[in-house]
């Protein structure tokens, strides 16, 4: 049944012990139908490992294939089951009825002795397309059931069925590996979180003291500081991290990580569960429940899934909450992968003090990763989109991580800035490196595929190109900055810049990957690889042709019209020539890939020479120049003769010859010599394929052996990509290198908003820059002025400049000197949360309270219009209370914009608070313009009526009576 309404990803969706609410599905495009062939499908040739245990049938006796699907549906009852049947994946029973319309495929009725069974299906090569709809769009879990060849006893037990069907993997939004529909520019993080045990939680009586009407939709104060462990990983790259956090900081951590799926332990305490779910549901996170085996609550249990063991001295640094979260995460992944091996990178323990903390409200208000209007991640208008000049997919992912978590280390920041400085000064080097980076591939995800045993020949070639690009970059860096050739006249500053790049270059591993690249180049035949792709596409075209044939025979006109253009083009590609002619095999590996492979190819050449001799002799003996020796699966090895000439008498001396197919113009017959020789050719090809698989497996193992080195090289390439990107950005936008220190000052001269400036330039307008100097002397700037005069832009631009500086980028200013900022807080804009019974004013007060409770002297706070939404008296009281607390308690750098002009009078006695304002320039005739330049002083006119007229409002001016 098709549903309509809001897209499913707009709602929280629970999997596990509780499915939660059913998501609403939005139809996209016109309704259409497609039909699939279900009978007499070709089978695959996997080797059976074991059969699915037979469960007691509670329903009618379905055919074996259908019964296997029913058994798997019971076993994986939280998943949509896709069953491989030859060249198709099929859905049965209620899954076909529910998801067939959502996937836009026709639901048919399969007639069985036990009654009709609903079923739907699609060609196997369209799996990624339909997985995207099910997993990414509908947030469903999918179980993939593949075919495995039965042995003799298994065939008898299954009633003569040649294949068993077993679920090999369950796919969820957070456990994607190498699916083609994955966003290459975004990490696909799976996040697990574990609170402490019940004995470590606040006593329930403390929680119950808080009035229910005040805690509705919020976190009870006793739980705010409760510690929780976070662990997250990206299966597509192997990146694995942990962190200790609190329930109060969970929303900000989730916004920074951006997980596609969150796993919770299934036995959470009710109070903790409600608080955590309240946070996660607010941002529409997909939540799954899973249990942690008690024996897995130690880091030693992680080792089988890691590329290297975590040293004992490092294990002691992980908290119990982090270990519990990591164990939950790995247990969940292991369950979803159904025994598929995996090698993750050792966990990186993140600490809050290592990076600038940007809470979820600031992330949204500053539009760091996405626009505040609900735009896509990295979309136009966001800071990430504005500064991104990276040329690699993995470089873009690392840039996103850096921007979401700016560094707090002066050494790290200055090292990054040194690299940007060098690339900005040496444009030729930068362009050469960018050119080589464009020739590389996403080796982070490539290497992870090999660690799972899933890499193919194309992936090996991509890895080869990446290693070649890495070697080229290393040579460039060595040629340009060889310290043995540097003269003594170089300044100490230049030497520090060069050392940063040198340290980056020294992290590259070259020798072992270079040897791997040589082995790949010597083994893979790229021409043969291209030919194998052509053959594969032809086979896919045959499947489409089969499906279209069934449509034409059994389907309606709507069914036939539903064939996609791609499918039609594939059908047209199918040659109309006689495809009984034997084609040359496309070998992916070179003959020289191994001595045995060389010998097998020589043996095959010899047999083929015998074939040519036999064909020549038969042509001469039978006086049939058109005779060819052919093979088809249905007829086997046979001789084929064209033309009306009768060769019956000539065939008498070949007593064993037997006709198999005769027409008016052709004749086909078996001949014993060709049958025997053809069998030898088949055996030779089979031995070559077996040897190719063996050699290819050795290449895969060599990639895994170099796993750590290849991953480290990939990180260096990503950092170089970001360095080049920042240098290109600085050159384009005229950015300057910031000076960072450990002071509490923030001095920005000629600062600009990075995204607003670009938006104005697209409209042909100029951006007005402004200075900002807050710190020990003036900790708080109280800013007044008209609406539309740029107060909010000024607030945001200074926060963004701090973010860019601590990321390691040049900044949009004429000069910038920044004391490290540990946290950025913003209270700007207006929003309500009516679902949790929170008004606009309540949301504002909660966000303000969070700032006042968490900001430190090293923090940077921007507040805009605190106290609006109530009476002027109450609003002024709230505003003054905030200023008083920020001044005396938090003592942090603050930009405070307001229309409550009385606050300027009330704060005259605050020595380290200064007043600044913007103005409106009025001209004769009633025209006016906004002056976006800040000046010292107070502007007591908001000019709201002028802005209302600009918006198109017609204001009524009453005529007062005389006197």
Residues 641, 622 contacting (CB under 8 angstroms): yes
Residues 879-894, mean pLDDT to the nearest whole number? 94
Indicate if the pLDDT at residue 196 is higher than 90.
Answer: no
Q: Looking at residue 545, what is its pLDDT?
A: 65
Q: Looking at residue 210, what is its pLDDT?
A: 42
> What is the C-alpha separation between 693 and 453, in angstroms, rounded?
13
Position of tokens 């896509």?
A: 376
SS3 30: coil
Phi and psi at residue 826, to the nearest 5°: -135, 140
215 confidence band (pLDDT: 50, 70, 90)? very low
Indicate if the pLDDT at residue 832 is higher than 80.
Answer: no
* pLDDT tens-place string over residues 46-82: 333 444 444 444 545 788 889 889 999 999 989 999 9
**Which residue, 149, 151, 141, is CA-closest to 166?**
149
Greatest mean pLDDT among 216-220, 404-408, 586-590, 618-622:
404-408
DSSP letters spanning 745-773: -EEEEEE--HHHHHHHHHTT-PPPPEEEE
Side-by-side strand order, sheet with 141-149: 108-112, 115-123, 88-92, 79-85, 141-149, 163-171
Q: Looking at residue 181, what is its pLDDT?
A: 87
> What is the C-alpha separation between 576 and 164, in angstroms, rounded?
35
Q: Looking at residue 833, what is its pLDDT?
A: 47
Question: How big is the chain by its Cα radius of gyration, in Å?
Answer: 35
Indicate if the pLDDT at residue 43 is higher than 50.
Answer: no
Q: Between 279 and 105, name the one with better pLDDT.
A: 105
Structure tokens belonging to residue 623:
């006086």
> What is the C-alpha separation between 140 and 175, in angstroms, rounded?
12
Indicate if the pLDDT at residue 825 is higher than 80.
Answer: yes
The C-alpha angle with vertex 940 and arms to 935 and 943, in degrees rounded to 5, equals 100
Position of tokens 């969970």?
A: 250
Q: Looking at residue 656, what is its pLDDT?
A: 62
579 confidence band (pLDDT: 50, 70, 90)? very low
Q: Looking at residue 714, what is its pLDDT?
A: 95
Helix or strand (DSSP H, E) at 262? strand 261-265
* pLDDT tens-place string over residues 912-942: 999 999 887 766 666 666 777 898 998 887 7
Q: Looking at residue 725, what is its pLDDT?
A: 97
Q: Looking at residue 40, what is its pLDDT?
A: 41
DSSP letters spanning 886-936: IIIII--EEEEE-S-THHHHHTTT-TTEEEEEEEEEE-TTS-EEEEEEEEE
The distance between the two most distant Cα atoms of the chain, rounded to a whole number of Å, is: 135
Indicate if the pLDDT at residue 816 is higher than 60.
Answer: yes
* pLDDT tens-place string over residues 462-520: 999 999 999 999 999 988 766 434 555 566 667 777 788 888 889 999 999 999 999 99
Q: Between 391 and 373, name the one with better pLDDT.
A: 391
Measured CA to CA in angstroms, residue 445 lies from 186, 408, 526 at distances of 12, 29, 22
Residues 334-352, mean pLDDT to the nearest whole number? 87
Judged by average pLDDT, the poorest of 267-276, 316-325, 793-802 is 267-276
Indicate if the pLDDT at residue 767 is higher than 80.
Answer: yes
Q: Looking at residue 821, what is its pLDDT?
A: 96
Q: Looking at residue 929, what is its pLDDT?
A: 67
Over 130-199, what HEC string results?
HHHHHHHHCCCEEEEEEEEECCHHHHHHCCCCCEEEEEEEEECCCCCCCCCCCCCCCCCEEEEEECCCHH
Phi and psi at residue 531, to the nearest 5°: -65, -35
Q: Between 606 and 222, name the one with better pLDDT.
A: 606
List b or e across 775-791, with b for residues whose CB sees 16 or more CB atoms inside 10 angstroms: eeebbbbbbbbbbbbbb
Indicate if the pLDDT at residue 25 is higher than 60.
Answer: no
Per the prediction, the chain carries an average pLDDT of 81
**Which residue, 476, 471, 496, 351, is CA-closest to 426?**
476
Q: Looking at residue 673, what is its pLDDT?
A: 87
Q: Looking at residue 508, what is its pLDDT?
A: 93
With a CB cutoff of 8 Å and minimum separation 6, the contacts of 658 are 669, 670
Judged by average pLDDT, the poorest of 199-203, 268-272, 841-845 is 199-203
* pLDDT tens-place string over residues 543-560: 666 655 554 554 445 445
Judged by average pLDDT, the poorest of 90-104, 429-443, 678-692, 944-958 is 944-958
Percent of the chain with pLDDT over 70: 77
Position of tokens 């001095």?
A: 747
Indicate if the pLDDT at residue 246 is higher than 90.
Answer: no
Residues 852, 896 contacting (CB under 8 angstroms): no
Q: Between 925 and 702, name the one with better pLDDT.
A: 702
> What is the C-alpha separation between 810 and 817, in angstroms, rounded?
12
Indicate if the pLDDT at residue 157 is higher than 60.
Answer: no
> What is the C-alpha separation between 772 and 774, in angstroms, rounded?
6
pTM to 2 decimals? 0.83
With a CB cutoff of 8 Å and minimum separation 6, the contacts of 219 are 247, 248, 275, 278, 279
């Amino acid at each position: 049944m098709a549903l309509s309404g809001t897209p499913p990803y707009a709602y929280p969706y629970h999997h596990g012990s509780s499915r939660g609410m059913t998501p609403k599905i939005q139809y996209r495009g016109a309704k259409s139908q497609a039909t699939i062939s279900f009978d007499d499908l070709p089978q695959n040739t996997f080797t059976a490992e074991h059969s699915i245990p037979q469960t007691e049938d509670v329903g009618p006796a379905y055919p074996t294939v259908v019964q296997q699907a029913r058994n798997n549906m019971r076993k994986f009852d939280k998943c949509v089951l896709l069953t491989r049947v030859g060249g198709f994946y099929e859905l049965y029973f209620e899954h076909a009825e529910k998801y067939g319309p959502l996937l836009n495929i026709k639901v048919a009725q399969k007639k069985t002795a036990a009654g009709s069974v609903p079923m739907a299906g699609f060609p196997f090569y369209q799996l990624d397309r339909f997985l995207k709809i099910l997993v990414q769009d509908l947030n469903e879990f999918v179980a993939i059931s593949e075919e495995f060849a039965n042995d003799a006893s298994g065939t008898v037990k299954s009633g003569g069925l040649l294949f068993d069907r077993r679920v090999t993997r369950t796919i969820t939004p957070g456990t994607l590996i190498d699916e083609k529909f994955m966003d290459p520019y975004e990490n696909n993080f799976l996040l697990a979180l574990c609170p402490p045990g019940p004995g470590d939680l606040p006593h329930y009586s403390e929680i119950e003291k808080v009035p229910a009407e005040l805690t509705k939709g919020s976190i009870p104060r006793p739980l705010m500081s409760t510690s929780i462990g976070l662990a997250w990983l990206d299966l597509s790259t192997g990146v694995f991290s942990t962190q200790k956090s609190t329930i109060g900081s969970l929303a900000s951590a989730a916004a920074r990580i951006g997980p596609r799926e969150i796993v919770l332990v299934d036995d959470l305490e009710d109070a903790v569960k409600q608080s955590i779910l309240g946070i996660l549901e607010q941002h529409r996170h997909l939540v799954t429940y899973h249990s942690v085996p008690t024996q897995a609550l130690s880091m030693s249990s992680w080792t089988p899934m890691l590329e290297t063991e975590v040293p004992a001295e490092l294990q002691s640094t992980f908290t119990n909450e982090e270990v519990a979260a990591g164990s939950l995460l790995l247990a969940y992944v292991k369950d979803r992968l159904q025994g598929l091996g995996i090698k993750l990178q050792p966990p990186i323990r993140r600490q809050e003090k290592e990076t600038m903390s940007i809470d979820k409200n600031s992330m949204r208000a500053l539009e760091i990763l996405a626009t505040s209007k609900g735009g896509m991640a990295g979309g136009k208008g966001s800071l990430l989109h504005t500064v991104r000049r990276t040329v690699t997919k993995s470089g873009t992912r690392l840039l996103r991580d850096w921007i979401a978590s700016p560094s707090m280390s002066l050494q790290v920041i200055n090292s990054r800035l040194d690299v940007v400085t060098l690339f900005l000064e040496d444009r030729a080097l930068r362009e050469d490196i960018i050119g080589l980076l464009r020739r590389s591939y996403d080796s982070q995800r490539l290497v992870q595929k090999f660690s799972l045993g899933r890499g193919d020949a194309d992936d090996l070639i991509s890895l080869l190109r990446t290693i070649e690009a890495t070697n080229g970059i290393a040579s460039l860096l060595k040629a340009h900055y060889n310290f043995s050739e540097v003269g003594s006249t170089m300044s100490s500053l230049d030497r520090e810049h060069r050392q940063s790049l040198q340290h980056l270059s020294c992290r590259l591993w070259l020798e072992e990957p270079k040897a791997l690249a040589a082995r790949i180049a010597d083994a893979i035949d790229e021409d043969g690889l291209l030919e194998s792709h052509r053959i594969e596409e032809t086979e896919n075209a045959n499947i489409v042709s089969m499906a279209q044939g069934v449509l034409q025979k059994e389907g309606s006109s709507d069914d036939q019209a539903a064939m996609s253009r791609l499918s039609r083009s594939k059908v047209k590609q199918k040659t109309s020539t006689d495809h009984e002619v034997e084609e040359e095999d496309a070998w992916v590996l070179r003959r020289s890939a191994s001595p045995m492979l060389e010998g097998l190819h020589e043996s095959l050449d010899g047999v083929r020479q015998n074939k040519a001799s036999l064909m020549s002799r038969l042509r001469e003996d039978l006086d049939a120049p058109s005779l060819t020796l052919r093979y088809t699966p249905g007829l086997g090895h046979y001789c084929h003769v064209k033309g009306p000439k009768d060769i019956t008498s000539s065939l008498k001396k070949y007593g064993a010859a037997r006709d198999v197919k005769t027409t008016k113009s052709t004749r086909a017959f078996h001949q014993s010599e060709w049958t025997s020789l053809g069998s030898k050719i088949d055996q030779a090809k089979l031995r070559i394929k077996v040897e190719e698989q063996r050699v290819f497996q050795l290449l895969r193992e060599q990639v895994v052996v170099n796993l750590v080195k290849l991953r480290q090289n990939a990180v260096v390439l990503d950092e170089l990509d970001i360095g080049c990107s920042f240098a290109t950005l600085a050159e384009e936008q005229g950015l300057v290198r910031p000076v960072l220190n450990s002071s509490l000052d923030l001095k920005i001269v000629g600062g600009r908003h990075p995204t607003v400036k670009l938006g104005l330039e697209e409209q042909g307008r100029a951006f007005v820059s402004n200075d900002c100097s807050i710190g020990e002397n003036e900790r708080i700037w109280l800013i007044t002025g008209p609406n539309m005069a740029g107060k909010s832009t000024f607030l945001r631009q200074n926060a963004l400049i701090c973010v860019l500086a601590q990321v390691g980028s040049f900044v949009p200013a004429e000069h910038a000197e920044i004391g490290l900022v540990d946290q950025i807080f913003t209270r700007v804009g207006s929003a309500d949360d009516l679902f949790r019974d929170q008004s606009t004013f309540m949301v504002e007060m909660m966000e303000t309270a969070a700032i006042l409770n968490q900001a430190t002297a090293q923090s940077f706070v921007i507040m805009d219009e605190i106290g609006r939404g109530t009476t002027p008296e109450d609003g002024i009281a709230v505003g003054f209370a905030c200023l008083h607390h920020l001044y005396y308690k938090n003592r942090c750098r603050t930009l405070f914009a307001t229309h409550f002009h009385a606050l300027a009078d009330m704060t005259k006695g605050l020595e380290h608070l200064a007043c600044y304002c913007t103005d409106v320039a009025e001209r004769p005739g009633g025209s006016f313009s906004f002056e976006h330049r800040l000046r010292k002083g107070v502007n007591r006119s908001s000019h709201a009526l002028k802005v209302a007229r600009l918006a198109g409002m017609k204001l009524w001016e009453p005529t007062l009576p005389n006197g």
